[in-house]
C-alpha cells in the first residue's frame, strides 16, 4: 500500500500543491495552518510525569492526545505538503518518546477491580493521532525505524485498545457494560490506526483484527439492549442514539471515519454497512435549533443529559457524505461547515446544491424517549422538546423534563452538564432537581440508576399532531416506581406559544408533590402568575389546579458548576395519594389577551382557555386514571359522553366550528350522534361541528 493513504493519498497531495498555485485562498489556509511550525519544532514533549501525575480517571494522558494532534496539524502538514525533513524528524522523535512510556492510560485503570483496563479514550485518541503521523512520515523512515515505531504504537495503543474491546483472546468489555459511545470510539480509533500500520506489522494478524473490529462495530450499531442488566438498545427505530447528539457524533462519527478509511484501503465493507440503522443521519439533526447571530445563522443543540448546547453532528454528517450514506438534510448540514484543510487536501466535496435542512420534519417522536416540535426550520423560531427515557451513565434522572427555545434563545432550559470530575456533576447535574420534572415528597429518582441502569425507564407513551396543536404524553412512572404507580405528564403545545401541562400522579402513600421549572433570565411574582423575562422575551406561568406554594431554589447552569442559578419549585403541600396538577406556560403573553378559568365536575377537572375568538376546554377524567377494574370510565365532559382519559374541545366562534381531541378514548357521543367509536381506546382528533 502506498503511503500516505489513511486520510489522503500522494495524488491528493500533488493536486493540492497545484491548487495552491492558482488559488490564493487555499494557499492562505495552508500558510495559516503551518505558521507556528518553528514554535512547534521547539515545543518540549509531554513527559511521563506530566501525563501520569494526576490522580483522576484519565490523569493527564489526554495531554498526549492533544499534543500529538497539534503536531500532526502543523509539523505533519508541513512535511506532507513541502517535505520539510525537520518536521519528519521531530515527529519520529515524538513517536519514539511516547512509545517509551510505561503505558498510555492512567493508574486508575491499572488498579481497577476485578479486571484492570489497558485503554481508554485518551490512549486510543493518542493511538489514532500517532497512526496518522506514521502514515505521513513513513517514507522518511528506514525499514528498521518502521518496524520499531509500528511495533511500539501497536504494543502501547492498538493492541491494548483492540485487546480490551474486541479481540476474543483478551477482551474484557461487553456491549452490556461499556456499549455506549466509548465502544465505537475506542475500537474505531484503534482500528483506524491499525490501517496505517498494517504493512509494517508482518508478524501480526492485521486482517483478522480488522475483521474482528468490523464485527464489533456492527454489533454496536445493532445492540438491542439487555433486560437483565437494565440496558437499553443503542439506536431506536428512528436511528437516534440514546445518549444524545454530542455522543452520537463522537461515537458514530469515529465509527464512520474508520469505515471511510477501511474502504479506501480494502473496498466496500458490507459488515458495517448492513448494520447502520435507518435514519441515523437525520435523527440527531432533528435536535438542532437555528438562530441568528451577527447576521449569520448558527445552530444550538438540545442539551438533554450530558450534552452541551453547542454540540454538533458535523463529524457524523461529513463522514456519511463521504460514504454516500447521507440524506439531503445531512448533506445540507455538512455543507454548512464545509471542508477543513485535511478534507480539502483529500479532495472532499461537501457542496450540496438544492439540499436543505428544512426537509427535516418539524415534529418528531423517538422511541428512545425524545419528542420535539417546532413552528419552523427558519432561524429564531420556537422549539418545544420533552425527554422521558432511559437513565444510565450520560443519561440523567430527567424523565418528564421539557425545554423551550424561543426567538433565538434557550428560554426554559435543561441544566446541561459540567466537567465530570466536579463533585456537582453527580450531586446536582445528573439528579432530577436539575431538570423541569415532577418529584414526590422530598424524594426523587433513585440515584443508583445512574450506575445500574433504569429497570423501568420513562417513555413518550402517546403523541399526536392535530389542528393547531401537538400533544406529547410522557410516562415518567418507571424511574419513580418506588414512590408512585402513576406519573404521567400530558403536554398540550398550542399554536407554538401556549403550553398546558396536566400532571397525573398516584403515590403509594399520602405525600406532597413538587414541580421544578428551570429557565434563563429573571422572574417576578404577579398575582396568581409568575412572569419570566429573558432579554425582552417573556412568559407567564400559572398554577390553575391546585393552589401551590412557590419556592426559589439554587441550582447551576450548563458548564458553570461554581455559579449559582435560580430555578423555581412549585409545591402541592397537601399530602395525598392522588394529585392532578394543571399549569399553563404562555410565551409573550402581552401580545394576546388569553383568559383562563378552571372547570370542575364530580368526575373531572379541567381548564377553559379563551384566546380571542377561540375557546378551548381541556378536561381530565378521574374515572380514567386506572383505578376501575371492570367498569369503563364513561362520564360527561364539555357536553360529550365519553370514556376518554383526556378531552380537548376547540371552538372557533368566528367560523362556528368545533373539533374534539380525544386522548385514550373509545367513544365520543353527543345528542345521539357518534363522533368516535373504537373497540379499544385510541387518541384521535375529530370534527364535531363545521
Q: Is 595 helix (H, G, I), strand (E, B) or coil?
A: strand
> What is the pLDDT averaged over residues 336-351?
96
pLDDT at 85: 98
What is the reported pLDDT for 455? 87
Exposure of 189 in the CB half-sphere (CA atoms within 13 A): 24
**DSSP letter assigned to residue 358:** G
- Going by C-alpha positions, the residue among 509, 508, 451, 505 that lies closest to residue 476 is 505
In whole angstroms, give the CA distance from residue 31 to residue 147.
Answer: 33
d(CA 375, CA 470): 11
Q: 660 near 680, Cβ under 8 Å?
A: no
CB 280 within 8 A of CB 289: no
Query: pLDDT digit string (tens) for 199-233?
Result: 999 999 999 999 999 999 999 999 999 999 999 99
Architecture label for domain 361-586: Distorted Sandwich (2.70)
For residue 448, give the C-alpha cell: 443508583
- Please write the tens of the pLDDT for every residue from 610-648: 999 999 999 999 999 888 778 899 999 999 999 999 999
What pLDDT, on the 0 to 100 scale, is given for residue 55? 80
pLDDT at 393: 87
CA distances from 622 to 76, 443, 476, 627, 635 (A): 69, 25, 19, 9, 9
Tell me the residue ranges of DSSP E strands in 416-559. Answer: 438-440, 459-466, 469-475, 484-494, 498-517, 522-526, 529-534, 537-545, 549-557
Average pLDDT over residues 302-325: 96
pLDDT at 3 (0 to 100):
87
CA torsion, ordered 202, 206, 207, 212, to nearest 10 deg: 160
Name the DSSP letter for residue 336.
H
* Confidence label for 664 from pLDDT (cuts 50, 70 and 90): very high
Give residue limits of the domains in the chain: 1-198, 361-586, 593-690
The mean pLDDT value for 42-66 works out to 94
Grid cell for residue 101: 512510556
Backbone angles phi, psi at 544, to 5 degrees: -95, -35
Percentage of residues of the chain with pLDDT beyond 90: 94
pTM metric for this prediction: 0.95
User: Are the C-beta atoms of 626 and 601 separated by less than 8 Å?
Assistant: no
Q: Do 1-198 and 361-586 agree at the fold level?
A: no
pLDDT band at 658 (very low <50, low <70, confident <90, very high): very high
The mean per-residue pLDDT over the stretch 94-109 comes to: 97
Q: What is the phi-psi region of residue 536: left when phi exceeds 0, alpha when psi lies from -120 to 50, beta otherwise?
A: left
| Range 651-664 average pLDDT | 96
Residues 6+ apart with CB under 8 A from 621: 603, 604, 633, 635, 637, 642, 643, 644, 645, 646, 647
1-198 domain in CATH 1.10.10.10?
no
Q: Is the pLDDT of residue 309 over 70?
A: yes
Q: Cβ neighbours of residue 39 under 8 Å, at least 6 residues apart?
A: none
Contact 97, 106 (CB under 8 A): no
CA gap 233, 356 in Å, rounded? 30
CB atoms within 10 A of CB 448: 8
The C-alpha atoms of residue 597 and residue 580 are separated, in whole angstroms, by: 16
User: Which residue from 576, 334, 231, 583 is spatially nearest to 436, judged by alpha carbons?
Assistant: 583
Strand partners of residue 511 = 576
Q: Is the pLDDT of residue 247 over 80?
A: yes
Q: What are phi and psi of 272, to 5 degrees?
A: -80, -45
C-alpha cell at 650: 376547540
Average pLDDT over residues 442-463: 87
* 62-71 and 121-137 helices, crossing angle to 10°: 20
Per-residue confidence (pLDDT) for residue 538, from 0 to 100: 98
pLDDT above 80: residue 443: no
Residue 534, pLDDT > 70, answer: yes
Q: Which cell goes with 652?
A: 372557533
What is the residue-averaged pLDDT of the chain? Answer: 96
**Is the pLDDT at 1 greater than 70, yes or no?**
no
How many percent of the chain have pLDDT more than 70? 100
Q: CB of 684 within 8 A of CB of 464?
A: yes
Can you tell me the mean pLDDT for 123-139?
Answer: 98
pLDDT digits (tens, 9 = 90+) for 262-297: 999 999 999 999 999 999 999 999 999 999 999 999
> Strand 673-689 relative to strand 529-534: parallel, antiparallel, unpaired?
unpaired
Amino acid at each position: 500500500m502506498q503511503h500516505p493513504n489513511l486520510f489522503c493519498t500522494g495524488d491528493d497531495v500533488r493536486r493540492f500543491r497545484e491548487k495552491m498555485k492558482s488559488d490564493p485562498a487555499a494557499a492562505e489556509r495552508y500558510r495559516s495552518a503551518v505558521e507556528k511550525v518553528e514554535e512547534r519544532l521547539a515545543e518540549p514533549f509531554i513527559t511521563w510525569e506530566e501525563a501520569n501525575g494526576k490522580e483522576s480517571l484519565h490523569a493527564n494522558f489526554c495531554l498526549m492526545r492533544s499534543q500529538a494532534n497539534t503536531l500532526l496539524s502543523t509539523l505533519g502538514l508541513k512535511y506532507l505538503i513541502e517535505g520539510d525533513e525537520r518536521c519528519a524528524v521531530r515527529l519520529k522523535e515524538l513517536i519514539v518518546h511516547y512509545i517509551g512510556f510505561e503505558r498510555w492510560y492512567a493508574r486508575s485503570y491499572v488498579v481497577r477491580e476485578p479486571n484492570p483496563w489497558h485503554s481508554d479514550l485518551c490512549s486510543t485518541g493518542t493511538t489514532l493521532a500517532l497512526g496518522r503521523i506514521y502514515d505521513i512520515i513513513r517514507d522518511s523512515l528506514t525499514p528498521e525505524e518502521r518496524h520499531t515505531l509500528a511495533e511500539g504504537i501497536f504494543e502501547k495503543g492498538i493492541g491494548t485498545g483492540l485487546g480490551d474491546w474486541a479481540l476474543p483472546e483478551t477482551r474484557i468489555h461487553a456491549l452490556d457494560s461499556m456499549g455506549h459511545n466509548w465502544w465505537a470510539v475506542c475500537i474505531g480509533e484503534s482500528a483506524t490506526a491499525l490501517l496505517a500500520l498494517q504493512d509494517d506489522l508482518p508478524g501480526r494478524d492485521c486482517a483478522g483484527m480488522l475483521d474482528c473490529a468490523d464485527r464489533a462495530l456492527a454489533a454496536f450499531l445493532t445492540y438491542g439492549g439487555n433486560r437483565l442488566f437494565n440496558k437499553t438498545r443503542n439506536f431506536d427505530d428512528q436511528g437516534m442514539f440514546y445518549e444524545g447528539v454530542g455522543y452520537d457524533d463522537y461515537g458514530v462519527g469515529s465509527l464512520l471515519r474508520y469505515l471511510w478509511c477501511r474502504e479506501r484501503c480494502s473496498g466496500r465493507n458490507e459488515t458495517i454497512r448492513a448494520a447502520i440503522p435507518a435514519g441515523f443521519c437525520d435523527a440527531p439533526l432533528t435536535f438542532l435549533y437555528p438562530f441568528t447571530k451577527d447576521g449569520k445563522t448558527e445552530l444550538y443543540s438540545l442539551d438533554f443529559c450530558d450534552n452541551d448546547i453547542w454540540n454538533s453532528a458535523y463529524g457524523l454528517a461529513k463522514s456519511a457524505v463521504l460514504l454516500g450514506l447521507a440524506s439531503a438534510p445531512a448533506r445540507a448540514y455538512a455543507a454548512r461547515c464545509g471542508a477543513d484543510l485535511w478534507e480539502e487536501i483529500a479532495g472532499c466535496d461537501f457542496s450540496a446544491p438544492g439540499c436543505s435542512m428544512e426537509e427535516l420534519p418539524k415534529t418528531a417522536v423517538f422511541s428512545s424517549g425524545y419528542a420535539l416540535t417546532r413552528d419552523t426550520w427558519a432561524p429564531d423560531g420556537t422549539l418545544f422538546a420533552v425527554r422521558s427515557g432511559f437513565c444510565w451513565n450520560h443519561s440523567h434522572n430527567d424523565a418528564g423534563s421539557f425545554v423551550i427555545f424561543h426567538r433565538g434563545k434557550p428560554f426554559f432550559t435543561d441544566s446541561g452538564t459540567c466537567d465530570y470530575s466536579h463533585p456537582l456533576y453527580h450531586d446536582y447535574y445528573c439528579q432530577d432537581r436539575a431538570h423541569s420534572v415532577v418529584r414526590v415528597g422530598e424524594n426523587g429518582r433513585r440515584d443508583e440508576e445512574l450506575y445500574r441502569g433504569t429497570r423501568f425507564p420513562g417513555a413518550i407513551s402517546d403523541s399526536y399532531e392535530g389542528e393547531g396543536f401537538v400533544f406529547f404524553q410522557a410516562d415518567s412512572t418507571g424511574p419513580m416506581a418506588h414512590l408512585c404507580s402513576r406519573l404521567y405528564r400530558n403536554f398540550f403545545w398550542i399554536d407554538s406559544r401556549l403550553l398546558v401541562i396536566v400532571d397525573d400522579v398516584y403515590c403509594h402513600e399520602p405525600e406532597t408533590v413538587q414541580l421544578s421549572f428551570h429557565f434563563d433570565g429573571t422572574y417576578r411574582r404577579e398575582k396568581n402568575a409568575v412572569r419570566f423575562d429573558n432579554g425582552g422575551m417573556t412568559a407567564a406561568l400559572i398554577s390553575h389546579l391546585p393552589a401551590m406554594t412557590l419556592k426559589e431554589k439554587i441550582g447551576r447552569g450548563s458548564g458553570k458548576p461554581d455559579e449559582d442559578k435560580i430555578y423555581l419549585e412549585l409545591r402541592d403541600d397537601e399530602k395525598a395519594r392522588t394529585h392532578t396538577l394543571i399549569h399553563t406556560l404562555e410565551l409573550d403573553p402581552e401580545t394576546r389577551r388569553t383568559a383562563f378559568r378552571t372547570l370542575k365536575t364530580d368526575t373531572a377537572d379541567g381548564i377553559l382557555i379563551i384566546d380571542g375568538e377561540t375557546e378551548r376546554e381541556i378536561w381530565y377524567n378521574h374515572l380514567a386514571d386506572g383505578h376501575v377494574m371492570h367498569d369503563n370510565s364513561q362520564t360527561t365532559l364539555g357536553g360529550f359522553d365519553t370514556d376518554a382519559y383526556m378531552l380537548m374541545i376547540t371552538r372557533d366562534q368566528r367560523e362556528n366550528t368545533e373539533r374534539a381531541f380525544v386522548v385514550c378514548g373509545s367513544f365520543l357521543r353527543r345528542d345521539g350522534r357518534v363522533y368516535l367509536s373504537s373497540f379499544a381506546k385510541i387518541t384521535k382528533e375529530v370534527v364535531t361541528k363545521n
